[in-house]
Amino acid sequence: MSTLARQQQILLDALLSWPAENAMKNIAACAIDTGSRGIKAYQTNGHMLAQRALQAAYPVVAQMVGDESFADLARALWHAQPPLRGDVACWGEGLAVFMQSSAQLQEEPCLGDVARAEWALHQCATAADRVADLPSLALLTTHDPEQLRLLLAPGCAVVRSAWPVASILTAHLEGSPSFDEVGAQLRASRAQDALVWRAGLRPRVRLVVDGETDVLLPLLRGESLAQALDAAPALDFGQWLPMAVQSGLVLSVSAMEETP
């Protein structure tokens, strides 16, 4: 490794080192400028960047823990799990596990699932586009379900939770249900599954309907419509499909031998 490359690596290590005293020791050992103000400025900028990036991906978690605690959380994650890609918007996926391992957040056990659902929403926004083909729904009348599969919207994901994660997200993002209702659901430890998908350009989230999780998980794995329906005996497919098509959740039907 060249001298310049070594200095650059030490500078990078210094910016991410925690506690900060270790950064200055590393810099001084390589005879780089020992002025603490320069390193402090770089670290401060890094912390601010981390907080902005994390808040963009997790606005509900930020509201739930408060600005000061969220800033501390962003700094801690920045040092524990530094970004590995140039686009900082891709950083932060590990927040849910990080929070669940934090002794200070054990009194808020729902935060991890909220974070998982928010990351799914964040990923949904940049998922590759898919083209709807509504006339293809006619295949449902001419083919056996074993020969068919449904193409779902970009970024579609189901987040299963022992907590009312869907209600928490929609209360913060859409104003419904009320926070009083969410509080009652939390006290009752109401389990919910949250459905995430993109309708057009808009990431969406809602509470799943009865049997919907069971039908969606096989479809997300690329299984046939027959397999999905067998896994979801509680789902009224005749009522669910029109709603799913209208909301942009189901985009098309294709024969199994075709590439969606």
Q: What is the average pLDDT score of the chain?
A: 86
Are 228 and 218 spatial neighbours (Cβ–Cβ below 8 Å)? yes
pLDDT (0 to 100) of residue 196: 98
Tokens of 94: 């590990």
Spatial neighbors of 47 by CB under 8 A, at least 6 apart, are 71, 74, 75, 78
Mean pLDDT of 35-60: 75
Give yes or no for residue 28 having a pLDDT over 50: no
CA–CA distances in Å: residue 76 to residues 23, 34, 98, 109, 239: 15, 24, 9, 19, 47
Cα–Cα dist 170/199, whole Å: 16
Q: Cα-flanking dihedrals φ and ψ of residue 143, to 5°? A: -125, 155
Domain spans of the chain, in order of start: 3-108, 134-255
Residue 251 has pLDDT above 80, yes or no: yes
pLDDT at 76 over 80: yes
Count of beta carbons in the 10 Å neighbourhood of residue 54: 24
> Which pTM was predicted?
0.81
Of how many residues is the chain composed?
Answer: 260
In whole angstroms, give the CA distance from residue 4 to residue 23.
18
Least confident of 11-15, 231-235, 255-259: 11-15
Place 65 in a pLDDT band, splitting at 50, 70 and 90.
very high
